[in-house]
Structure formats: C-alpha cells, structure tokens
Amino acid sequence: MLLTVDIGNSNIVMGNFSGDDLIETIRVETFDYSSWKKAINKLSGFEKASIVSVVPAVLADFMSYLEQFIEKDSIRIISPLMKNTGVYFEEKGVNPAELGADLFANAVANYHLFKRKVLSVDLGTASKFCVIEEDGLYIGTTIVPGMRIALDALLEKAPLLPQIPFEPTDKIINNTTIPCMQSGIFFGYCALVDGLIRKIKKEQGDLYVVLTGGIGAVLYEYLQEIDKYLPSLTLQGANILYRM
C-alpha cells in the first residue's frame, strides 16, 4: 500500500493507493497537527509514501512523524526537477525550479491519464490554471487569489460585514447583506473561473479542462467550462511518480 500526501497551504489530503486504485482519502487542516497525525494513524497499513508539499515547515514535521511508521528510504518527496516523468520543460520556457510540486504532480497526472492537451485548473488557497501539451510539454501557468482569500480580504477591510457560507443562493441579485455577499462571492468566482478558461482557450487553442482542488469541489456543479472533475488529481500524480 502506498500513502500519497498533498500538503497544501490550507489543507493536507492523504490517500492510500493499491496499484492504480485509490482506496480511501482523508482531508485535514494543514496546521492542525493533531488531526493529521490521527489521519496517518487511521491510514496505517501503508509500506511507502509519496509526498507533494508546498509548505516546507510542515513537510519536515510530517516526515519526522511518518518515519515512526516506515523507513525513510521508502518515502519519496516529489520535485519538479525529477527526470523522465513524461512532463518536460523548454529551455527558455518554465523554470522547473520555480514550479510548485503540486502543479508538477498535477501535470504528470494529466499527461499520463488523458494523453491530450490539457488545461489543469486547481482551485485552492490560490487558483492555478496550467497548460500542458499532449506530448507532456509544460507550457505555463496563471495564478489568481483563491475564493477564500478573496472573501477574507473583503471581511478584513470591512469588519462590520458578517461571515458567510460558501454556498450558492437562489438568486444573484438579493436585498439583504448576507445573501448579497454570498451570491457575489460564489457566482462572481464561478464567472472568474469560466471567463479565464475561455480566454486561455482563445490564446492556447483547444484544451481538455480538468478541475481539482478543495474549492473545485464547491464550485464544480456551477461551472460551465469543465470537462472532467478529478478531486484526487494531485494524489494520482504522486502515485504515478512514485511508481516511476
């Protein structure tokens, strides 16, 4: 059994793979150390691990705890500098040393799973839109603040505004504060995602659009430009990269 881990800025997602089959997943808050330790205990039975991380401080603690269960040599840290993965970079294109490990894992998963030109849309703390050619060439990325960051910034600048849920409203135009904000952030962000996808398609040509990320789960049913929703995309990449 292989433990795959995606350590993000807001959440850690863990999943056990048996070959190509994802058996179970657990999502916890990144800086809730007791919760992710309990999650590791719950997912026991793994013999090796493949870790994608964009939070170095948490990665160090995570590794230290994980080594209580398995040997250090059986743990692989995913890096965009890995070779012979199917995904590659042009000499004057994207510098892999500057690319997040999560985006690299997503690119590898997209390349091996779909074998076509893909727009990978990862909606999390930040929203990342990445284009990968059919032959595995990583074209590039655009990044915008995530939906939660946008809402938190609004509430920080206007402290009298109330907290609101991440849920759609029946109407877009409303007449009381909470549904006005709720519809604006929810449907406004859907419009941002769909609109940016359309602009990227106009620039890059025909693309197969694959959605992932924690916010992706919230917005998926309300987006019009998505071809495939794959919440486990980063874990799939970690699994593929370990086996390679």
Pairing relation of β-strands 48-53 and 118-123? unpaired
* Contact yes or no for 243/119 (Cβ under 8 A): no
What is the DSSP annotation of 71-131? -GGGEEE--TT--SSS-B--TTS--GGGS-HHHHHHHHHHHHHH-S-EEEEEESSEEEEEE
* Contact yes or no for 67/77 (Cβ under 8 A): no
Residues assigned a catalytic role? 102
Pairing relation of β-strands 48-53 and 2-7? parallel
